[in-house]
Amino acid sequence: MTVTSTQTLESPKTADADSADRVFHYVRKSKIAESAVMGNMVQALCGEIFPVTRSPKPGSPVCARCKEIYESLPPGGGSSD
């Protein structure tokens, strides 16, 4: 065989972010605003950093750490810290 399969040779970055790509992350609105400065990268409550353009598919599970942190936050967003 002289033909090398390259089907699995996708971007390592894609594979690495695969798990994060399948869950919803909570992101503060202020962080989303920051993303414009940071090059469209946002940091979720859990610390996950990902492109703001990335949108999980409907039915994706919520990030457990994000949910835990989110529920510990005061309602209404509170004051900025």
Binding footprint of Zn ion on the chain (CB under 5 A): 25, 44, 46, 48, 63, 66
CB of 46 to Zn ion, least distance (A): 3
In whole angstroms, give the CA distance from residue 9 to residue 31. Answer: 33
In whole angstroms, give the CA distance from residue 40 to residue 75. Answer: 26
CB of 4 to Zn ion, least distance (A): 37
User: Among residues 25 and 35, whose Cβ is nearest to Zn ion?
Assistant: 25
CB of 26 to Zn ion, least distance (A): 7
Q: Please tell me what DSSP assigns to residue 40.
A: S
**CA distance from start to end of the chain:** 60
User: Among residues 27 and 33, whose Cβ is nearest to Zn ion?
Assistant: 27
